[in-house]
Structure 1
Amino acid sequence: MDNLINLLKEFQPYIILGISLIVIILIIIIIILLKSMSNLEKRYRKFMRGVNNKNLEELIVGYLDKIDKVKQDSENIAAAYNELDNRIKGCIQKTSMVRFRAFDDVGSDLSFSIALLDDNNNGVIITGIYGRNESTTYAKPIDKGISRYDLSEEEQQVLDDAINKG
């Protein structure tokens, strides 16, 4: 036993230095752990903000219900968009107009032809012929870019212009 005590006394400075080094390392580890705990606590408080005595499962289920509602709303909006897109295809989208002089004895370009077509090139050509004693307006239906009636040069021009605008 005396040998052990003498041995400890002989290496006492080294033992104290080693224990001091271990204590310093432990203090550094404790500081790092406290800092990590602080960061974890901040993240936990941020995660749990707005939760008043609710458990986490209720909160997550509430968010999932909201996600399902948003998904359903998105599907409804997409269906409404498709319906509107189909309806718009039937609306007038292509137009063209030309003014011309139908008769040499009339002074100005008072006659006209207007083409009004939808996305499928269906629609109508409206032509107004102005003369000194009378004025006539008539329409010719257009089906897929083709008229069942003969078209004048001006009417064919507005039809071609309207089709090419698409």
Structure 2
Amino acid sequence: MQPLDIVTLLVAVAALLLGVVAVLGQFRSSEPTRGDADALPSDVEGLRREVAALQGETADALRHLAVVRYDAFGDVGGHLSWSLAVLDDGGNGVVLTSIHGRSEARTYAKSIADWSCEQQLSPEEDEAISHARPSDRR
């Protein structure tokens, strides 16, 4: 390393340390003290309202995901076939399946509404939906 590189590195490390110290100082100064205890309930209630609003906004987000990998055929190993469930809070979304054979692969998509499908699901697709479903909705 060149002397200039070493100096640059030392300055960068020093700047990083100063930044960390400044952030920690702000964090400590923002912690509530005994005198601020009266203001805490209104802040907590405001945060509760904000969290409830955010939960309402994300209800339609496709955030429940699960993948099941398996061997679709006895002569093809490596768990190259898979089913992926992508669902929102209401169990609406899609299950994607890719079946890998020795010479080809096929991909399927099935719509899911309210945790079920109008088309027949394979055991692996059903398992992916089951794993994607939150435990409080099983």
Range of TM-score over shorter length: 0.5 to 0.7
Matched, 1:101 2:101: no
Secondary structure, in 3 states, of the residue corresponding to 1:85? helix
Aligned equivalent of 1:113: 83
Aligned partner of 2:109 in structure 1 is 139
Structure 2 unaligned segments of length 5 or more: list them: 1-44
Aligned counterpart for 2:62 among listed residues 67, 87, 92: 92
Cα deviation code 1:42-85 (max 9, x no counterpart): xxxxxxxxxxxxxxxxxxxxxxxxxxxxxxxx98x988765533
Q: Is the 8 A contact 1:101 1:110 kept in 2?
A: yes
For 1:137, give the aligned amino acid. Answer: T
TM-score computed with the length of structure 1 as normaliser: 0.49
Evaluate the alpha carbon distance shift between residue 81 and residue 107 of structure 1 in structure 2; reply closer, same or farther with a 3 A threshold: closer
**Which of 93, 97, 108 does residue 127 from structure 1 map onto?**
97
Counting aligned pairs with the same residue, the percent is 36
Q: Aligned equivalents of 1:78 and 1:158: distance in 2?
A: 33
Any idea what the Cα deviations from partners look like across 1:15-50, whole Å, max 9, x if unmatched?
Answer: xxxxxxxxxxxxxxxxxxxxxxxxxxxxxxxxxxxx
SS across alignment from 1:128: strand
CA distance in 1, matches of 2:90, 2:100: 31
Q: Which amino acid aligns with 1:149?
A: Q
**Partner Cα separation in structure 2 for residue 78 and residue 164 of structure 1:** 22
Q: Does 1 or 2 have the higher relative contact order (CA < 8 Å, sep 6+)?
A: 2
Q: What residue number does 2:20 align with?
A: none
Q: Which runs of 5+ in 1 are unaligned?
A: 1-73
Of residues 118, 121, 126, the one that matches 1:148 is: 118
> Aligned partners of 1:105, 1:150: CA distance in 2, in Å?
25
Aligned pairs, number: 93
- Structure 2 distance, partners of 1:112, 1:140, is 14
Secondary structure, counterpart of 2:126 in structure 1:
helix
Local SS of the residue matching 2:96: strand
CA RMSD of aligned residues (A): 2.3
